[in-house]
Amino acid sequence: MRAAGKAWLMWAMAVVVYMAAAFHRGSLAVASLEATNRFGVGPAALGTFTVLQLLVYAAMQVPTGLLVDRFGPRKTLFMAALLMGTGQVLFAVATSYPLGLIARAVLGFGDAMTFISLLRLTSAYFSARQYSLVVSFTAALGGLGSLASTVPLTALLNSAGWTTTFLITGLVTAGYALVALRLRDTPEGPAPRAEPAKLRTVARSVVHSWQVPGTRLGFWVHFATMQAPAVLSLLWGFPYLVGAHGLSEQAASSVLGVMVIVAVVSGPLIGALIGPRPELRMPLVAGYLVLEVLLWTALLVLPMSAVLLGVVFGLLALGLPLSAIGFSIARDYNPISRVGTASGVVNVGGFLATTIAAFGIGLMLDLTGSFPLALLIPAALMSLGIWRTAVWWRRARAAIFAAEARGESVPVRIRQRRWDSVAVAAS
Lowest mean pLDDT among 24-33, 402-411, 418-427: 418-427
Higher pLDDT, 373 or 144: 373
Contact 275, 361 (CB under 8 A): no
Q: Give dist(CA 389, CA 395) in Å, integer.
A: 10
Nearest Cα to Cα of residue 232 among 114, 91, 365, 378: 378
Residue 120 has pLDDT above 90, yes or no: no
Q: Is 415 helix (H, G, I), strand (E, B) or coil?
A: coil
User: How much is the pLDDT for 330?
Assistant: 81
- Residue 256 burial (CB count, 10 A): 27
SS3 of residue 332 by DSSP: helix
Q: Is 195 left (phi over 0), alpha (psi -120 to 50) or beta?
A: beta
Which helix (H) or strand (E) covers residue 254, if one does? helix 249-274
For the chain, the average pLDDT equals 85
Average pLDDT over residues 9-26: 91
User: 267: pLDDT confidence band, cut at 50, 70 and 90?
Assistant: confident
Q: How confident is the model at residue 346 (pLDDT cuts 50, 70, 90)?
A: confident
What CATH architecture does domain 204-427 belong to? Up-down Bundle (1.20)
Pairwise CA distance, residues 342 & 214, whole Å: 9
Domain-by-domain residue ranges, the chain?
1-190, 204-427
Nearest to 322 by CA among 223, 209, 216, 412: 223
Half-sphere exposure for 26 (CA within 13 Å, toward CB): 30
Q: Is the model's pLDDT at 100 over the cut of 60?
A: yes
CA atoms lying within 13 Å on the CB side of residue 17: 38
Domain 1-190 has CATH 3.90.245.10: no
How far apart are alpha carbons 92 and 165 in whole angstroms?
7
pLDDT number for residue 425 = 40
Residue 336 pLDDT level (bands cut at 50, 70, 90): low
Predicted local distance difference test score (pLDDT) of residue 357:
93
Q: Which bin fits 72, alpha (ψ -120 to 50), beta or left (φ > 0)? A: left
Q: How far is CA 310 from the centre of its chain?
A: 21
What is the value of pTM for the model shown? 0.79
204-427 shares the fold of 1-190: yes
Q: What is the pLDDT of residue 196?
A: 66
Q: In this predicted structure, what is the pLDDT of residue 87?
A: 94
Which among 358, 355, 354, 334 has a CA at the least distance from the CA of 344? 334
Pairwise CA distance, residues 381 & 227, whole Å: 8
Query: Does residue 427 carry a pLDDT above 70?
Result: no
